[in-house]
Amino acid sequence: RLKKMGFVFQTFNLLPRLTALRNIELPLIYAGMDRRDRQNQALKLLEKVDLKIRANHKPTELSGGEAQRVAIARALVNNPAIILADEPTGNLDTKTSNEIMEIFKRLNENDEITILLVTHNEMIANFANRKISLIDGNVVEDGNSYFKKKIFTPKII
């Protein structure tokens, strides 16, 4: 988990007493990285999500979109192969949600990071290369740009 996966949550899960920079550095402390290297890595990631100018702001001083970009940067800190994102746009307006999804799209296309995203929002789901739809825990559709396959039709009683 520390080395292969990143997590992004609907509620951001940033520590309120730490700055954006320190929130991103935190996993690197657990990884045993030197302080200067941690700061340099965190600053690079803030730049990657277009937020370097807010490095010294605490979460309460950030907008929802800015807080989510800090959370994305934190998820990237250990160069994960996959990011698990649980309703990452659930607390954001439409414009900001689209901006967040563009960041995920860029990470997938340019950095080849797999993004596994859970959402109830069809507009957000349509950003995906592959969409798997569930109803009551059952897969009802599994499709991507190459095929669409209906797997299960729920019975209505």
pLDDT digits (tens, 9 = 90+) for 122-134: 899 999 888 888 8
Chain centre distance of CA 100: 8
Comparing C-alpha atoms, which of 16, 25, 10, 11 is closest to residue 76?
25
Indicate the residue type of 92.
L
Lowest mean pLDDT among 87-101, 126-140, 141-155: 141-155
**Cβ neighbour number for residue 40 with a 10 Å cutoff:** 12
Comparing C-alpha atoms, which of 147, 83, 146 is closest to residue 118?
83
- Residue spans of beta strands (DSSP E) within the chain: 5-9, 82-86, 114-118, 130-135, 138-144, 148-150
Chain centre distance of CA 70: 10
- What does the pLDDT average to over 65-85? 95
Backbone angles phi, psi at 8, to 5 degrees: -130, 130
What percent of the chain stands above pLDDT 90?
73
Binned at pLDDT 50, 70 and 90, residue 135 comes out as confident
